[in-house]
Amino acid sequence: MAVESPGSSREDLAWGPGCDRHVAIQGRLDIMEETVEKTVEHLEAEVTGLLGLLEELASNLPPGPFSPEPDLLGGDHF
């Protein structure tokens, strides 16, 4: 019965160029996911700021004879 040396386990034999590529792709996907999450957070902050400005502008408009006070966020305010 042959005894395997510690450096030639089945796990080492299964590791190959395909595994290296998988690890590289996973690393890039992790970076992309983090970038998307940061972008979404930034856009949410920008939209919130813009909605605040629009509400402020709308509240300063003089009311017209046929226009009720505008509710830019709708009745439920998200």
Q: What is the pLDDT of residues 48-76, one digit of tens each?
A: 999 999 999 888 877 766 565 666 666 65
3-28 average pLDDT score: 72
- C-alpha span between 52 and 78 (Å, rounded): 14
Do the Cβ atoms of 73 and 50 come closer than 8 Å? no
| Residues 51, 72 contacting (CB under 8 angstroms) | yes
Residue 71's pLDDT is 65
